[in-house]
Amino acid sequence: MELGEALRAVGGDAERSESFEVFARSLDIEWVRHALHATGSASIRRRKLPAESMVWLVIGMALLRDRSILEVVYHLGLVLPESAEPPTVTSSAIIQARSRLGEEPLAALFAQMADKWVAQSADEHRWRGLSLYGLDGSTLRIPDTRENEAAFGRPKSGRGRSGYPQMRLVALMVLRSHELASLAMGRYNDAELKLADSLWSKLPDHSLTLIDRGFISYCVFR
């Protein structure tokens, strides 16, 4: 059974939340399927929470941040029915299904979205024939786990151990629409200029990019 057919089976269209339909109109379901198959992450056997549902869950978690993960699952109707009874799922099953998905299909999906939406947005908001981009860096606090601390590190603190690990990122986006074209992430103590190395090649011809003075470098301009 296809995902759309399974979702329609959950109580009928009239009883299902419109949220999934809004997501589906914004993001082509074929992009999701292509990302899963390209990374070998598509569900082979029937599950209550197949890989496609988990992709929608991650998107829903980002957009519905005031809801718990379990609430997002039911709000979007992501549990496939196994019988005539209303479908149910436990929090632990959701965590396991999310772990099975991994990060690769989400990265592949982001790349597809960026190629499609960013080029269109940049073309719509040209200035004197040039597409406009901006590049800058920032930091993000991440969950306080041993794994995150080992992978990303913590900032120094004058009062002792800082509260959370942090990661450093550099983002390239289309100006005016602020759609992300690409993103480079690293440890907190990584230099933004070094992280940006992988982003310069993403800039198209006939474009203008705004940067701050921290990215001014002979090697970059050359």
Q: Dihedral sign, CA of 109, 112, 114, 120?
A: negative
Percentage of the residues of the chain whose pLDDT score is greater than 90: 26
Given a cut of 70, whether residue 66 has pLDDT beyond it is yes
Residue 104, CA distances (Å) to 17, 196, 201 in order: 29, 21, 22
Neighbours of 44 (CB within 10 A): 7
In terms of pLDDT, which residue wins out, 186 or 100?
186
Tokens for 199, please give them. 């982003």
| CA gap 173, 136 in Å, rounded | 9
Q: For residue 152, what pLDDT is reported? A: 93
Given a cut of 50, whether residue 15 has pLDDT beyond it is no
| CA gap 61, 9 in Å, rounded | 23
Tokens for 74, please give them. 């039911």
Position 8 confidence tier, pLDDT thresholds 50, 70, 90: very low
| CA gap 181, 173 in Å, rounded | 5
Mean of pLDDT values over 181-188: 92
In terms of pLDDT, which residue wins out, 79 or 54?
54
Mean of pLDDT values over 148-167: 86
Least confident interval from 42-46, 54-58, 190-194, 204-208: 42-46
Whole-angstrom Cα Rg for the chain: 21
Question: Under a CB-based contact definition with an 8 Å cutoff, are residues 78 and 87 in contact?
Answer: no
Strand partners, 171: 136, 183
pLDDT digits (tens, 9 = 90+) for 37-64: 877 766 655 667 778 788 888 888 887 7
Given a cut of 90, whether residue 107 has pLDDT beyond it is no
| CA gap 100, 45 in Å, rounded | 13
Percentage of the residues of the chain whose pLDDT score is greater than 70: 82
Q: For residue 17, what pLDDT is reported? A: 52
In terms of pLDDT, which residue wins out, 214 or 38?
214
Mean of pLDDT values over 120-143: 91
Q: For residue 147, what pLDDT is reported? A: 93
Q: For residue 47, what pLDDT is reported? A: 67
| CA gap 10, 79 in Å, rounded | 8
Least confident interval from 29-38, 41-50, 122-131, 184-193: 41-50
